[in-house]
Amino acid sequence: MKPASIAAQALGWVDEKTRAIVPPIHPSTTFIRDPDNQYRSGRGYARDQNPTFDQAEAVLTALEGGHASLLFASGMAAATAVFQALAPGDHVLAPKVMYWSLRNWLANFATRWGLRVDFIDMTDADALRRSIQPGKTKLVWIETPANPLWSITDIALSCEIAHAAGAVVAVDSTVATPVLTRPFEFGADIVMHAGTKYLNGHSDVMAGTLTTREDTALWQRVRAIRAQVGGVLGTFEAWLLTRGMRTLFPRVRAASASAQAIAEHFDKHPQVEEVLYPGLGSFKGHAVAAKQMRGGFGGMLSIRVRGAGGGEAAAIAAAAKVQLWKRATSLGGVESLVEHRASVEGAGTPVPTDLLRLSTGIEDTGDLIADLEQALGR
C-alpha cells in the first residue's frame, strides 16, 4: 500500500475477536501471569507494554519506513529520551534555531548531566564540519523545517558529515511529517515527532514519538528510559493518536496548499516586511526543501509585519484583530493559529520581534487570507 492508504486504514488492522475496524481501548494496567509464572502473552505491565500502543507505533513505523517506534507522553519526553540515552561527557550538536523548549532544556538541564552541547547554524554544512568532533560528537540533532523561521537543513549532507565522524543523526520532523519528508531515505538514524501537532491533528492530545531506522544499542537505551523513567502516553491518548493519523495525509496536504497560497499572497505585501516559507522560490532554503520535501512545503509559515510604532507593535496589533485565526500556542491542528512568537520565547530568542507565526489549518483559504488582510489594516 501507498503511505496514504496505510494511514487511512491504520494498516487495515481488524480486531480479531469482534472484527471491528476501529481498535479497542485497553485500560488495564496489568496482565495475568500463566500458572507457571510466565507471561506468554508478552505483556506484564502497561507502562511499556500497553496493547493500545501497538497500532499507533506500527502505523508510524510503516509511514516512516523504519524498524520500530515508541510513543511518549509528549514531544519533549520523546526528544529528551534520546539525549538521556547518551553518556556524561558526550558531545552533541543542535541547531541555533529550533523548538524553543528543547533548546532551553539542552542549555539548562542536559549540560548539568554532563552532556557537552554546542548550538550551530545547522543549515550551514561548513559550520557542521567545523563543529563536529570525530569520536566525541555522539549525536547531531536536526530540525527541518525549523520552528519558527522554517529554515531548512540538508538531511542527506548532514548525515554524510555526521556519520563520517561516528555520530548518530536524529531529525525532528514534526513540521514536515512523513507526508512530505521521510528522513530515513536521506540517511537519518532516528526520527522524532511532537505527536501533539500534525500526527494527531486535532489539538486534543499531548504525545511524542520516536522511530528508529535500525535496532541499535542507543535505541535499546531509549526504550529502557521510556520504561524506567515512565514518560509514557496514556491509553486513551494512544487511541486518539491512531485516530488522528488516519486523516494525516488529507490534512497535511490541505494545510500545505493553503500555506503556499497565503505565502504567495503576502509576499511583497505593503504591510509585510518578509514572508518566511520554504515553498517560496526566494526563500533561502527553497532548493534543499524542494529536494527533500515531496508534495508540498508544510502548513507552517511566518510573516514579519510592518507598521506604525515599529514591527513588534504592528505585529501584536495585527494578531489582536484576527477573527478566524485563533491566537494560541501550538500548531498542526485543523484550526488555524497565530502567535507573536518572540513574546512566548522571551529573552535570548533568535526570533525577530515583528514576526507572527502562522499554523495553517484546513479552513477555506480565501477566508484565511481575508482575515489576515483585515487584521493588517487592508
Per-residue H/E/C for the chain? CCHHHHHHCHHHCCCCCCCCCCCCCCCCCECCCCCCCCCCCCCCEHHHHCHHHHHHHHHHHHHHCCCEEEEECCHHHHHHHHHHCCCCCCEEEEECCCCHHHHHHHHHCHHHHCCEEEEECCCCHHHHHHHCCCCCEEEEEEECCECCCCECCCHHHHHHHHHHCCCEEEEECCCCHHHHCCHHHHCCCEEEECCCCCCCCCCCCCCEEEEECCCCHHHHHHHHHHHHHCCCCCHHHHHHHHHHHCCHHHHHHHHHHHHHHHHHHHCCCCCEEEEECCCCCCCCCHHHHHHHCCCCCCCEEEEEECCCCCHHHHHHHHHHHCCCCEECCCCCCCCCEEEEHHHHHCCCCCCCCCEEEEECCCCCHHHHHHHHHHHCCC
197 labelled catalytic: yes
Given 103, 138, 182, 197, the catalytic residue:
197
Confidence band, pLDDT 50/70/90 cuts, at residue 346: confident
pLDDT surpasses 90 at 9: yes
- Angle formed at CA 266 by CA 260 and CA 267, multiple of 5 degrees: 85
pLDDT surpasses 90 at 166: yes
pLDDT surpasses 70 at 106: yes
Report which of residues 40 and 157 the model is more confident about: 157
pLDDT surpasses 90 at 44: no
> Contact at 8 Å (CB) between 162 and 168?
yes
Q: What is the mean pLDDT of residues 183-201?
A: 98
Q: What is the mean pLDDT of residues 30-40?
A: 88
pLDDT surpasses 90 at 348: no
> Contact at 8 Å (CB) between 274 and 266?
no
CA distance 305 to 265: 14
3 phi and psi, to 5 degrees?
Answer: -55, -40
Give the residue from 100, 52, 111 showing the smallest Cα distance to 76.
100
Q: What is the mean pLDDT of residues 183-209?
A: 98
- The reported pLDDT for the residue numbered 38 is 86
- The reported pLDDT for the residue numbered 41 is 82
pLDDT surpasses 80 at 67: yes
Q: What percent of the chain has pLDDT over 70?
A: 99
- The reported pLDDT for the residue numbered 356 is 97
pLDDT surpasses 80 at 82: yes
99 labelled catalytic: yes
Confidence band, pLDDT 50/70/90 cuts, at residue 53: very high
Looking at every residue in the chain, the average pLDDT score rounds to: 95
The 10s digit of each residue's pLDDT in 232-288 is 999 999 999 999 999 999 999 999 999 999 999 999 999 999 999 999 999 999 999
pLDDT surpasses 70 at 309: no
Given 43, 47, 136, 306, the catalytic residue:
47
CA distance 213 to 258: 32
The b/e string for 136-155 (b: 16+ C-beta within 10 A; e otherwise) is ebbbbbbbbbbbbbbbbbbb
CA distance 3 to 65: 10
> Contact at 8 Å (CB) between 202 and 362?
no
Domains and CATH numbers, the chain: 3-245 (3.40.640.10), 248-375 (3.90.1150.10)
Looking from the CA of 203 toward its CB, the CA atoms found within 13 Å total: 13
Q: What is the mean pLDDT of residues 340-357?
A: 91
47 labelled catalytic: yes
Confidence band, pLDDT 50/70/90 cuts, at residue 42: confident
306 labelled catalytic: no
Q: What is the mean pLDDT of residues 202-225?
A: 98
Given 90, 172, 189, 354, the catalytic residue:
172
Instruction: Report CA torsion sign: 288, 267, 326, 252.
Output: negative
> Contact at 8 Å (CB) between 142 and 118?
no
Identity of the amino acid at 69? S
Given 90, 99, 223, 357, the catalytic residue:
99
> Contact at 8 Å (CB) between 193 and 173?
yes
Q: What is the mean pLDDT of residues 48-62?
A: 95
